[in-house]
Amino acid sequence: MTRAASIPAVPRLGAPLGNERLLEALRLMLTIRHFEERAVALYRAGEMRGTTHSSIGNEAAEVGVMLALAPTDYVTSTHRGHGHTIAKGGDVKRMMAELLGRATGYSGGKGGSMHVADLDKHMLGANGIVGGGIGLATGAALTATLRGGGAVAVAFFGDGALNQGILHECSNLAAIWRLPVLFVCENNQYAQSARSDWSVAGGDPAKRAEAYGIPGVRVDGMDFFAVHAAASELAGRARRGEGPSYLVCDTYRYHGHHAGDPLNYRPKEELAAWRAKDPVDRFKRELQERGVLGTDAIATMEQEVAALVDQAEAYAKASPEPSVDQLMTDVYA
Amino acid sequence: MSGPTVQPASAGARELTYVQALNEALREEMRRDTAVFVLGEDVAVWGGGGVFGVTKGLVDEFGPERVRDTPISEEAIAAVAIGAALTGSRPVAEFMYVDFMALAMEPIVNQAAKLRYMFGGKATVPVVFRAQEGAARGNAAQHSQSLEAWFCHVPGLKVVVPSTPADAKGLLKSAIRDDNPVVFLEHKALYGRKGLVPSAADFVIPLGVGDVKREGRHVTVVGIHTMVGKALRAAERLAEEGIELEVIDPRTLVPLDLELIVASVKKTGRLLVSHEASTTGGYGGEIVARVVEAAFDYLDAPPVRVCAKDVPIPYAAVLETLALPQVDDLIAAARALARQQL
């Protein structure tokens, strides 16, 4: 299945990113890829409790949107949230420490993989409830409206959340209140084992936006430039007070739903077809074609990113577990 | 920790209804802090503000940006309020009936109550979820429940249940100033109740402080909402028989002023708890358990629950009356308790 291939090409709307920003984008995408590979390896090695949800394959969608945002813009994420935190400027050391349940983690070991947040960076958290971040982002957009100042909020969610009631309620509310919020669906084709072309009535999720009288744009989520261009335009109109919109990024979840997924529900050749469109490889190639950087520079960046993830793992493993006196703290302010 | 909260008229108190007291609290806090705003169904336009008039006139003073009518979307009302609180606003979200909060349990239970803990203490969620609960108006099964125990069961939430106008005002002001999510449950049958409310601008009642509404030696009665008033009526009648009830209104269930209740039980040796919520799983059972844990040796008789029957609230008056604990039920139970010796 190659859904993305059937999507009409989205015109690149200028995408005015300088070389420095493009290099930042590549570094973020590589960091997500390396971090997620390490997280899965650590999970399989028995270093993590609970589970971990890999966002490998979704890097262009995550970084493409994030580079259309300002540091003061708000983001909410999902159970598959590592990539969003990294792309919003999160610290991989504190992230890895949280994944390993250490006192130095973002949440002091109280949250784990599904509850990483960096509130100082306006990253309002991963979320263990499918669709759970949608209302929070809409509320952040309400704060932005009441305060003024032009901040926007982005709710990332997967195709699974397309069928949660909160998305309908918030789409409607954001539309009638003209809130500056982007509903960004990373349509990675599966909600656990449910294929989106089965579970999502009406076919094109972006068309649901029409019902609310707001723009709905669907892009190839493996194409950084397409995602970034669309997100820039939609964030821009939100910032100008023109209200919310949907952005649907067609992408693919390379790994299973979580690290223990039996993956019996999808054909192996499907993954191979999507891997042929790998967003990181594609972005590297495009940057080389544009003369932004050469093979050697990419290799150097890969080494730097791998070293960063090594350091994060070492930092996490060297960090203490939470002290027992932390059990009952932070329940109430 | 307790004490009279209603000041004498000479100290500047006026008679207000419970609704007027709540309205004053909202108005004063919105004047005090521009981060405070109100959202909910029919809070601005309907009748000048609120189906029960709690938000009456607020839109005229503060405008539609800060007094926001919403569509009928309870999950979004809760979730959006939480997201706004997480980013520095101080929303007061109104749910027309507590029954409708069933539609909003995901954000209240999984988001508001847990964000601070899950994020290692870095999140602050200063949101108030207001609703009214209770029966006695013939509203039947989906508009008459008392669901306070649901919220008490979720760590991270505070739960407030005022029974008088003064308590309603002082506690709502505290709830709005609190940096935690607070479920503030009013009672529809109390909205028209009048009482003295202190005029002082800084009149607040801290969360977690109960109130002895009547002193007595023989039986401690802990009542919630309308059961406080019913217990006071029962106390008057039993006094004629020489049985003295000590009536305690905990006012907030989370945090609970257990110290006040235990001190009373140590004096009386007998405990009766009463609420309109159905008996099984009701908060009365929790109060009984905590008192037994803290003061077992002081009890002269097994604690008693006089609560609603385990039935959906019926429509017809004769059935509704039977489903709910009445003054006569309190009298019978308290009398039996007073006479019982272990």
Question: Catalytic residue among B24, B29, B41, B74, which?
Answer: B74
Task: Tell the residue number behind the tokens 């909205």, with chain if given.
Answer: B191
Q: Are residues B253 and B311 in the same domain?
A: yes
Spatial contact of B131 and B92, defined as CB atoms under 8 Å apart: no
Q: Are residues B131 and B234 in the same domain?
A: no
Chain B interface disruption, residue of A142, A167, A321, A327, most B CBs within 10 A: A142
Active site includes B143?
yes
What's the pLDDT score for residue B4? 47
pLDDT digits (tens, 9 = 90+) for A270-291: 999 999 999 999 999 999 999 9
| Contacts by A35-41, CB closer than 8 A, 24 or more apart | A35/A82, A35/A86, A35/A92, A35/A95, A35/A96, A35/A309, A35/A312, A36/A82, A36/A83, A36/A255, A38/A96, A38/A309, A38/A312, A38/A313, A39/A82, A39/A96, A39/A99, A39/A113, A40/A255, A40/A259
Q: Which residue has the higher pLDDT, A186 or A16?
A: A186
Q: Are residues B243 and B272 in the same domain?
A: yes
B9 is a domain residue: no
Looking at B198, B227, B254, the residue that finishes a domain is B198
Residues of chain A above pLDDT 90, percent: 93
A51 is a domain residue: yes
With an 8 Å Cβ cutoff, are B89 and A143 in contact?
Answer: yes
- Give the max Cα distance, chain B: 62
Active site includes B74?
yes
B113 is a domain residue: yes
B7 is a domain residue: no
B205 interfacial to chain A (CB closer than 8 Å): no
Spatial contact of B186 and B162, defined as CB atoms under 8 Å apart: yes
* Beta-ladder partners of A89: none
Edge to edge, what strands does the sheet with B67-69 contain?
A: B67-69, B36-40, B90-95, B128-133, B182-187, B158-160, B252-254
Residues of chain A neighbouring B65 (CB-CB closer than 8 A): 145-146
Chain B interface disruption, residue of A85, A95, A146, A154, most B CBs within 10 A: A146
Q: Percentages helix, strand, coil for chain A, rounded to the nearest 5?
A: 50, 10, 40
Q: Please report which residue ranges of chain B form alpha helices under DSSP H.
A: 18-32, 58-62, 74-86, 105, 115-118, 148-152, 165-177, 226-239, 258-268, 283-295, 317-323, 327-339
What's the pLDDT score for residue B137? 83
What distance in Å separates the CA atoms of residue A207 and residue A213, rounded to the nearest whole number? 10
Give the closest of B65, B86, B118 to A139, CB-based: B86
Q: Token pair of B256, please?
A: 């609970």
What's the pLDDT score for residue A20? 94
pLDDT digits (tens, 9 = 90+) for A90-127: 999 999 999 999 999 999 999 999 999 999 999 999 99
CA distance B340 to chain A (A): 40
C-alpha dist (Å) from residue A269 to A4, A195, A272, A275: 15, 15, 5, 10
What value does the mean pLDDT take over residues A57-69?
97
Spatial contact of A169 and A192, defined as CB atoms under 8 Å apart: no
A317 is a domain residue: no
CATH number of B23's domain: 3.40.50.970
What's the pLDDT score for residue A14? 42
Report strand pairing: B245-249 vs B211-214.
Answer: antiparallel
A296 is a domain residue: yes
Residues of chain A neighbouring B88 (CB-CB closer than 8 A): 143, 147
Closest residue in B to A107 (Cα) is B120
Q: Which amino acid is at A220?
A: D
* Beta-ladder partners of A249: A186, A219
pLDDT digits (tens, 9 = 90+) for A144-196: 999 999 999 999 999 999 999 999 999 999 999 999 999 999 999 999 999 99
* Beta-ladder partners of A194: A191
Q: Are residues B238 and B315 in the same domain?
A: yes
What value does the mean pLDDT take over residues A321-326?
98
Sign, CA dihedral A293-A123-A261-A102, equals positive
What's the pLDDT score for residue B2? 45
A320 is a domain residue: no
CATH number of A288's domain: 3.40.50.970
B316 is a domain residue: yes
Provide the terminal-to-terminal Cα distance of chain B, rounded to the nearest Å: 30
Angle, nearest 10°, between helix axes A279-289 and A224-239? 90
Q: Which residue has the higher pLDDT, B202 or A311?
A: A311
What's the pLDDT score for residue B11? 66
Burial per residue of B248-281, b for 16 or more beta-carbon CB atoms within 10 angstroms, e otherwise: bbbbbbbebbbebbbbbbeebbbbbbbbbbbbee
Q: Are residues B145 and B36 in the same domain?
A: yes
With an 8 Å Cβ cutoff, are A110 and B115 in contact?
Answer: no
Cα angle A173-A176-A180, degrees, rounded to a multiple of 5: 75
Looking at B198, B231, B265, the residue that finishes a domain is B198
Looking at B167, B198, B229, the residue that finishes a domain is B198
A57 is a domain residue: yes
Secondary structure of residue B17 in the 3-state scheme: strand
Residue B113's φ and ψ, nearest 5 degrees, are -70, -25
What value does the mean pLDDT take over residues A130-151?
97
Give the closest of B84, B106, B155 to A143, CB-based: B84
Element spanning B214, H or E: strand B211-214
- Give the max Cα distance, chain A: 57
What distance in Å separates the CA atoms of residue A167 and residue A175, rounded to the nearest whole number? 12
Q: Are residues B44 and B179 in the same domain?
A: yes
What is the span of the domain harbouring residue A258? 3-10+18-312
Q: Are residues B171 and B280 in the same domain?
A: no
Give the closest of A110, A119, A136 to B82, CB-based: A136
Closest residue in B to A134 (Cα) is B79
Closest residue in B to A76 (Cα) is B83
A192 is a domain residue: yes
pLDDT-derived band of residue A9, with 50, 70 and 90 as boundaries? Answer: very low
What's the pLDDT score for residue A259? 86
Q: Percentages helix, strand, coil for chain B, rounded to the nearest 5?
A: 40, 20, 40
Q: Token pair of B61, please?
A: 């003073």
CA distance A179 to chain B (A): 11
Closest residue in B to A155 (Cα) is B83
What is the span of the domain harbouring residue B335? 211-339
Element spanning A132, H or E: helix A132-147
Q: Are residues B176 and B250 in the same domain?
A: no
Beta carbons within 10 angstroms of residue A321's beta carbon: 11
What's the pLDDT score for residue B5? 53
CATH number of B238's domain: 3.40.50.920
B139 interfacial to chain A (CB closer than 8 Å): no
Beta carbons within 10 angstroms of residue B319's beta carbon: 13
With an 8 Å Cβ cutoff, are B84 and A107 in contact?
Answer: no
A219 is a domain residue: yes
Spatial contact of A32 and A199, defined as CB atoms under 8 Å apart: no
Spatial contact of A130 and A79, defined as CB atoms under 8 Å apart: yes
Residue A290: exposed, middle, or buried by beta-carbon count in 10 A (0-12, 13-18, 19+)?
exposed
A126 is a domain residue: yes
Element spanning B184, H or E: strand B182-187
Q: Are residues B39 and B74 in the same domain?
A: yes
What distance in Å separates the CA atoms of residue B115 and residue A117, rounded to the nearest whole number? 10
What distance in Å separates the CA atoms of residue A244 and residue A178, rounded to the nearest whole number? 6
Closest residue in B to A114 (Cα) is B118
Domain total of chain A: 1
Our separate counts of H helices and E strands in chain A read 12, 7
B222 is a domain residue: yes
What distance in Å separates the CA atoms of residue B268 and residue B265, rounded to the nearest whole number? 5
pLDDT tens by residue, chain B, 342 residues = 444 455 444 469 999 999 999 999 999 999 999 999 999 999 999 999 999 999 999 999 999 999 999 999 999 999 999 999 999 999 999 999 999 999 999 999 999 999 999 999 999 999 999 999 999 789 999 999 999 999 999 999 999 999 999 999 999 999 999 999 999 999 999 999 999 999 998 999 999 999 999 999 999 999 999 999 999 999 999 999 999 999 999 999 999 999 999 999 999 999 999 999 999 999 999 999 999 999 999 999 999 999 999 999 999 999 999 999 999 999 999 999 999 876
Q: Are residues B189 and B302 in the same domain?
A: no
Spatial contact of B156 and B112, defined as CB atoms under 8 Å apart: yes
Chain B residues 86-105 within an 8 A CB cutoff of chain A: 86-89, 91
Entry pTM: 0.95
Cβ contacts of B309 within 8 Å, gap of 6 or more? B278, B279, B322, B323
Instruction: Give the per-residue SS3 of A64-120.
Output: HHHCCCCCCCEEECCCCCHHHHHHCCCCHHHHHHHHCCCCCCCCCCCCCHHHCCEHH
B154 interfacial to chain A (CB closer than 8 Å): no
Residues of chain B neighbouring A109 (CB-CB closer than 8 A): 120
B203 is a domain residue: no
Here the ipTM equals: 0.95
Question: Catalytic residue among B29, B94, B143, B186, which?
Answer: B143
B3 is a domain residue: no
Domain total of chain B: 2
